[in-house]
Structure 1
Amino acid sequence: MTRRTDAATVVGALGEAAAAHGRVPAVVDGDRSLDHATLWRQAGRVARRLRARGVRNGDVVALAADRSAGLLVGLVGVLRSGATVLPLDVTYPRARLMMMLQDSGARIVVGHEHTVGPFAGEGREAVVLADALAGEEVPADAELPEPHPGDGCYLLYTSGSTGGPKAVLMPHAGLANLVRWQAGASGVGPGSRTLQYGAISFDVALQEIFSTLATGGTLVCVDEDTRRNPVRTWELMIDSGVERIFLPYVGLQALVMVADDVPVERSALREIIPGGEQLQCTRALRELLRRLPECRISNHYGPVETHAVTCHPLEADPGRWLSLPPIGKPIPGNRVHVLDEEGRPAAVGEIGELYVAGDQVSYGYWRRPALTAERFLPSPDGDGGRVYRTGDLARLRPDGSLDFLGRADDQVKIRGFRVELAEVEAAVSDHPEVAACGATVAGDEGIDRVLVAFVVPRSGFDAEEVRAELRGRLPGHLVPEVFHAVDALPQLPSGKLDRRGLRLLAEREPTAGPR
């Protein structure tokens, strides 16, 4: 049975879950398991250690830990202390992590002994999870503060067109609103198992983690090596009875590519929630869902500045799916606006830029008031609130849902025609010889610009055959002039497609011709 929560913060929701479902497993990490009561108690010890070190509400505390039960204890512990958590992906280059620590002003790093050691010093100190759980210096019943809905919940760094990474500060109220909605939208509840797939520095991981724990569900940990191996990921999900997974489209694509090599019919998977980039309903994805008749896909959209703000549940019949499905309608507490270049509402069917208002809008960019003022604007609703200017293009459908049309700054033209790269990728990926595709352009504006497709083949790959098939389905300007067969598409640490990496690959041999 699904469990709903009305808590104003994720900390409150987790406390309720610990009281109601204390003996239900909260985390399964290999042979180790923590129930909700134990997770809550251990997180409390971490929180009290942090308070004893002088941490107060609103302070930024970094979390650097391997994928494990300890990571989750540390995450909940930092939030129970009243601090704003800065999740650090320990697979990132050390120089980038040091930049985040310096920019955030975090003076404490929580994690395992081997993960926090490199970051101690220079005014920062380490809190080792094992020591915090075993220590006796802090009374076990020392009172902990209840975070306020307006307090900062997390600080996440995101790259942008302006150059270096910038941090987004999300209040507790925003994440709590998302968790509250997800608790009712998903058919999961106490004991239901969700794979802890997302990288901790990716906002979807926080949706995945807290929407599971807040409903008395169980997170199944996956180590980094298994996560990077889609066959082993399938095997873990099958053996562990995983019912739900959140992941970027590229991650879903990787699972689809190997689905013929594993007995997916034995899987308990009931819900797939892709987000972070355009979902493409390829032939292979449709075939997979036909093998999983009880499983449903729910397409989410939302930049890190707002987290998830819209949802589109796909129909049960894969044969009825669009190749590029809508991103849906706003979840409760949010509003969206599609505005033209003059800032006026775009008509149904017209392309405009997407603006987001409501509970999911973050406080803006950490210590960057000018950039915040540029992207977070007064709401056109006239309610005194703010909207976030996403930089994404969208189109309103007659039923009120939205089509996602890519980034405004990623728009490309070939011989004067506007090219939607996602449309090209979806069409190429639908060919039975193609497992995955990433499209980009190479060359200068004008007659020298060419459309390039990087293809991960299933077995053999004949570029001329694929091109001939595409010419029967697409206008000429959407048919790639150059194909490159590759073993894998470049990815960002979050698991999204690395479009800049694709462009760099294409520029190396922009006129190499088909192969």
Structure 2
Amino acid sequence: MRPGGPAPDPALFHTYLLSAARHTPDAPALVCRDQEWSHGLLAERVAALADTLHAHGLRAGERIALEFSPCPEAVALQIAAASLGLVFVPVGPDLPAERKANILRRTTPRAHVTPPGRTPPQAPGRATGTLGPDGRLELTGAGRAPGERHTPAPSDPLYIIFTSGSTGEPKGIVMSHGAVVSFYRGFSGFGVRPGVRLGSTSPLQFDFSLLDLGLALGAGGCLVQVPALLLQQPQGLVRHLRHHGVEQMNGVPSIWRGVLDAGAADLLADTPLDTILYAGEGFPLHGLQELRRALPAARIVNGFGHSESIACAWKVLPGEIPHREGRVPFGSRAIDGMRMYLVRPDGTPEDRPGEVAELYVEGDALFDGYWQDPETTGAALVPSPLGTGRRAFRSGDLASRDERGEFYFHARKDSQVKIRGNRVELEEIDACLLGHPAVDLSATIVSGTGGSIVTFVRPSAPAPGGLADELRRHAVRHLPRYMVPSRFRIVDEIPLTSNGKTDRHEMARRWEGR
């Protein structure tokens, strides 16, 4: 965005994020380690990067792979690419080489940019480049004469983010400018403080990072990019939040596990934190209760949704955490511009409290489809069962509503398995075991060799002898016999994906290779 001239279209990703540069250019926008960029500096860097990309001949609709850990220059490059109508593809630096090559092969990016010190793989017709903290972008190869500079439309594609895909072929989710901005406007409805200092730990290939970016910059605030190393140093993490004046902290529940495990939760009272937003997976009830005790006046926000719309709902949890059998509600309605409802297997809307059915989502923040995969797109985006004339997203989540209309997540449809002819929801087993005071975390798989139920348990304190037998008795008291795990494995840690979610694929690998 250049100074002066008419106000740009606010329904575009780059103009939405740079709007504060027109009004408060000197206010901080991005902080990462020893770097601090103002909104004005961010806008200047974006304009310079856009000029470099355009001069090298990159054109609207082409893909650009961005292989960075979170840093201000990567954010600037995302915004610059968007301003030209390029489609950015975040690629995690730590992704396995085979998966990284798969993403590059499928998206055929016109350019691949990394920090200095990395060497992007060469490919015919692909420019490669490096971008350092000074904001200088050096591109080599595959240059051509610049075309006409394109002004994006809200319907233009903005990015492709690939799902974590622990099994099968990862899906590339395509989101448009308009969908992302609609999400930002709707999701911020829980109340983001103007000028907020918002902490983020999410890697750039996880769309949670885009949620963090939009909530912070959209409020004229500052995004504090927290180094991932601090997630292994609970007291260091708390000191970092205090030093940088972080008022709102967003992330998956696992970022708080170390803080709670190390007994560092009480240190949070010395920070300016007044809002904690979690999403990505469920937060164990006892962990939420401990967090509430440490920050009794803070807002704890349960964010819920899918990468296909970034998220679709939120609920600010009251002082006493509400729950039904350990399940915490995620709201009674979708964000503004969106709609969520439950649909039975026969395609009819669910309308009875307590009935479990599949969650459908439709509205302005929905994705365009899966990259070059019309079959999967057609199965996920279907005509609205409500007859609205719009497409609806079949989320694959099983949920219910209570008498007040509050929604509760139960399980993923794809985590349903058949055991001795009975349908079993693995998350229901975990929810049961999390109700035992000795259990801190629980994650269940089905053994590929024997088809038996195996539950990994991390105890809340050093495991006493006979814990597995006690947990089996607990499961027998609360679950049908066919859902009782045949094996319990007591572990110090449950493996996580790079996005901080439970990695059931890795758990299965460890079990089979035990």
TM-score range, shorter chain: 0.7 to 0.9
CA-to-partner distance for each residue in 1:455-474, whole Å, 9 max, x for gaps?
25533444157427836962
Residue in 2 that maps onto 1:122 = 124
Residue in 2 that maps onto 1:196 = 200
Distance 1:134 1:250 in 2: 35
Are the counterparts in 2 of residues 245 and 273 from structure 1 also a CA contact under 8 Å? yes
Distance 2:513 2:327 in 1: 30
Change (3 A) 1:466 1:147: farther
2:173 alignment partner AA? V
Residue in 2 that maps onto 1:34 = 37
Are the counterparts in 1 of residues 443 and 457 from structure 2 also a CA contact under 8 Å? yes
Structure 1 position 90, deviation (Å): 0.7
Distance 1:189 1:322 in 2: 37
Distance 1:368 1:311 in 2: 30
**Aligned mate of 2:338, from 334, 337, 347:** 334
Residue in 2 that maps onto 1:513 = none
Structure 2: unaligned runs, 5 residues or longer: 1-7, 140-147
Normalising by structure 1, we get a TM-score of 0.87
- 1:246 pairs with 2:245: no
2:501 alignment partner AA? K
Distance 2:307 2:82 in 1: 19
Residue in 2 that maps onto 1:449 = 452
Structure 1: unaligned runs, 5 residues or longer: 138-142, 510-515
- 1:293 pairs with 2:299: no
Query: Matches of residues 427-506 of structure 1 in structure 2 within 5 Å?
Result: 427-442=432-447, 449-462=452-465, 463-464=467-468, 466-467=470-471, 470=474, 474-475=478-479, 477=481, 480-506=485-511
Are the counterparts in 2 of residues 433 and 461 from structure 1 also a CA contact under 8 Å? no
RMSD: 3.0
Residue in 2 that maps onto 1:140 = none
- 1:303 pairs with 2:309: no
**Aligned mate of 1:258, from 253, 257, 262:** 262
Are the counterparts in 2 of residues 234 and 262 from structure 1 also a CA contact under 8 Å? no
Structure 1 position 498, deviation (Å): 0.9
Structure 1 position 147, deviation (Å): 2.6
Distance 1:49 1:484 in 2: 54
Distance 1:423 1:356 in 2: 23
1:199 alignment partner AA? P
Are the counterparts in 1 of residues 232 and 258 from structure 2 also a CA contact under 8 Å? no
Structure 1 position 132, deviation (Å): 8.6
1:452 alignment partner AA? T
**Aligned mate of 1:350, from 355, 364, 367:** 355
Are the counterparts in 2 of residues 434 and 461 from structure 1 also a CA contact under 8 Å? no
Query: Matches of residues 266-285 of structure 1 in structure 2 within 5 Å?
Result: 266-282=270-286, 284-285=287-288
Identity %: 29
Change (3 A) 1:80 1:230: farther
Residue in 1 that maps onto 2:411 = 406
- Which secondary structure does the structure 2 equivalent of 1:106 belong to? coil
Residue in 1 that maps onto 2:176 = 171
Residue in 2 that maps onto 1:237 = 241
Structure 1 position 161, deviation (Å): 8.4
CA-to-partner distance for each residue in 1:85-105, whole Å, 9 max, x for gaps?
111111112221122112112
Residue in 2 that maps onto 1:312 = 315
Distance 2:101 2:468 in 1: 48
Are the counterparts in 1 of residues 186 and 337 from structure 2 also a CA contact under 8 Å? no
- Which secondary structure does the structure 2 equivalent of 1:330 belong to? coil
Are the counterparts in 2 of residues 256 and 285 from structure 1 also a CA contact under 8 Å? no
Change (3 A) 1:296 1:135: closer
Are the counterparts in 2 of residues 27 and 69 from structure 1 also a CA contact under 8 Å? yes
1:186 alignment partner AA? G
Structure 1 position 149, deviation (Å): 0.8
Residue in 2 that maps onto 1:323 = 326
Structure 1 position 217, deviation (Å): 1.0
Which stretch of structure 1 is more off in the superposition, 204-213 or 484-493? 484-493
Are the counterparts in 2 of residues 414 and 451 from structure 1 also a CA contact under 8 Å? no
Distance 1:219 1:357 in 2: 29
Residue in 2 that maps onto 1:380 = 385
- 1:88 pairs with 2:91: yes
Distance 2:322 2:343 in 1: 33
Change (3 A) 1:253 1:324: farther
Are the counterparts in 2 of residues 431 and 466 from structure 1 also a CA contact under 8 Å? no
- Which secondary structure does the structure 1 equivalent of 2:219 belong to? coil
Residue in 2 that maps onto 1:213 = 217
**Aligned mate of 2:364, from 359, 382, 387:** 359
Are the counterparts in 2 of residues 46 and 132 from structure 1 also a CA contact under 8 Å? no
Are the counterparts in 2 of residues 456 and 489 from structure 1 also a CA contact under 8 Å? no
Normalising by structure 2, we get a TM-score of 0.87
